[in-house]
Structure 1
């Protein structure tokens, strides 16, 4: 008797309760394991893309590390437990990462044969992609697979900053008639529609551009953005266009709501000097990385009214959430789940395998989502 699918799995193939019949190291009819290059599969079994995984097994000899701690993983690398593998595959962000950050120490232990690492997830602040590139290893993320999920939650956070959703939700959930009555009678005087206000996006990559399109289409928001370069072709794809701000200061001084969609490069983006540049009473949404924001400075900016509301899916000290922010009724906090959907996971699995198969066929030109080609040392 099969289990009833959960709502989150509706319309998608259910994950098998036992591993699929394909053997992990199943010999190919055209090549023996000794003739095939080896890849190391980190973490759990795949759940959805079994046909593509079979293709991966035909082209590669697949070794498995499953889940292990950092010291055990380092010992296995030193002992060459998995041989001279050419690549690594991590289909899920919540397994296979128990060895911690991929820093210089860990990268130095990889065999010289390793040339590609295809991993789930959009952010890559946990991996030193520059050092990987300098060691001849292409790092591929899977940002395109979770774009819709991330943007949809960003929209929820954006709306929450305009419409006081945390306050209304908590008042209703409290069961207190007094709290309900206060919210019911008061919220209308302090909330606004987002229509025609300026949405300031920091980082007009895939996620930023998709957010801009949805916000402009659904809510008629005017889009301004700041990035290291201008993207004229993306500007024209947004209803009403988008205004490029050469400086972050220009964006902060004019936006009614600022959304962070930029990677974390190792330094804080918003601290007291930047919050002082925000338009008074504006809003902040962060669906990028928590360490981009100095949370003490954000608390101060909210105390002063400089920031009137915030939506935070990511936090500076995860899994610890800053309670001076979380306990405010004008702040929506979620648990770094913007990209967390079944559709994202299906895409993570698929994109990682497509990167590996493309690399095998055409080298760096065959990769779909490499992020460190600028620092790649080939040879």
Structure 2
């Protein structure tokens, strides 16, 4: 099998692929460059950087599988791949812990003004009173989406003695009960939560699901975190909500455009941003690399 790896992949995954197959590592390719070389490959291994468009898929005469080292497959034209009989595989478990921990870190950073206080002190100021924070113990965490990462966040938040409510139309009530989660509708999550965290894929149904009308439902002082997919939260609406003091703050690890060059979100002191670090731990990088190698070769 001839395999193209078009995004950086941990050595542990590459070693598995190279043990018995011909592997080329060629990163940073444009769409046209991929179109020109993809006819020579049986498998394509990517992360989030490569966009596997219909144009690329149509040129892939030998391609049998696209392996995504990570969870989301919104950078792959899945319908086009399906029409051509190409398998699309992802690695939903490899970065679960990493993404869940990053979500909790972002929530705590919001509640204690960590980023703002750090910037202030490094600027030579000593502003203890300005950065009075809020404890999370006893607060309501509203989770939108209860997949692997969402559940991972819930378990860690329960350890912080938070009350959990969640919206997920696909999880059985009995499963939610076993996890100690009160399953409610989306409106209830928006109205009752002190913190809201988003854990849904980006689809036509979830794109912009948190927008102006949803922000208007939220209680004063709410803080919102998105470590899932850019676009689930309407970024323009978020800017308006922060500027109108409808919410206390936001923490974002994902954006509609990455990097979010020129985004107004970068100018807001009450918005904490990180450059899509949810899966960026050494452990997660190895796990997804090994998982995607196993998927491609299975």
Q: Judge same fold: TM > 0.5, yes or no.
A: yes
CA 306–46 in structure 1, closer or farther in 2 if over 3 Å, else same: closer
Conserved? CA contact 2:9–2:289, under 8 Å: no
Match of 1:294 in 2: 234
CA distance in 1, matches of 2:22, 2:65: 14
CA 228–115 in structure 1, closer or farther in 2 if over 3 Å, else same: farther
Conserved? CA contact 1:167–1:329, under 8 Å: yes
The reply on whether 1:48 has 2:2 as its aligned counterpart is no
Q: Secondary structure at the match of 2:138?
A: coil
CA deviations over 1:26-52 (Å, ceiling 9, x no partner): xxxxxxxxxxx4444435575124663
The reply on whether 1:62 has 2:22 as its aligned counterpart is yes
Match of 1:304 in 2: 244
Match of 1:130 in 2: 79
Q: How far is the alpha carbon of 1:284 from its aligned partner?
A: 0.6
Q: Secondary structure at the match of 1:124?
A: coil
Match of 1:224 in 2: 165
The reply on whether 1:333 has 2:273 as its aligned counterpart is yes
Match 1:264 to one of 202, 210, 215? 202
Displaced runs of 4+ in structure 1, greater than 6 A? none
What TM-score, normalized by structure 1, do the two folds share?
A: 0.71
CA distance in 1, matches of 2:31, 2:244: 44
Structure 1 residue ranges without an equivalent (≥5):
1-36, 359-379
Conserved? CA contact 2:35–2:60, under 8 Å: no
CA distance in 2, matches of 1:195, 1:44: 39
Deviation larger for 323-332 or 151-160: 323-332
Match of 1:24 in 2: none
Q: Secondary structure at the match of 1:144?
A: coil
CA distance in 2, matches of 1:107, 1:38: 16
Match of 2:183 in 1: 244
Match 1:144 to one of 68, 93, 99? 93
Conserved? CA contact 1:315–1:322, under 8 Å: no
What TM-score, normalized by structure 2, do the two folds share?
A: 0.89
CA distance in 1, matches of 2:161, 2:33: 53
CA 169–46 in structure 1, closer or farther in 2 if over 3 Å, else same: closer
CA distance in 1, matches of 2:53, 2:31: 12
Conserved? CA contact 1:166–1:331, under 8 Å: no
Q: How far is the alpha carbon of 1:268 from its aligned partner?
A: 1.5
CA 324–165 in structure 1, closer or farther in 2 if over 3 Å, else same: same
Q: Secondary structure at the match of 1:305?
A: coil
CA distance in 2, matches of 1:234, 1:265: 24
CA deviations over 1:110-146 (Å, ceiling 9, x no partner): 22x5332112122222112233223222211223111
Q: How far is the alpha carbon of 1:63 from its aligned partner?
A: 4.4
CA 304–43 in structure 1, closer or farther in 2 if over 3 Å, else same: closer
Match of 1:215 in 2: 157
CA distance in 2, matches of 1:46, 1:301: 40
The reply on whether 1:185 has 2:129 as its aligned counterpart is yes
Match of 2:219 in 1: 279
The reply on whether 1:74 has 2:35 as its aligned counterpart is yes
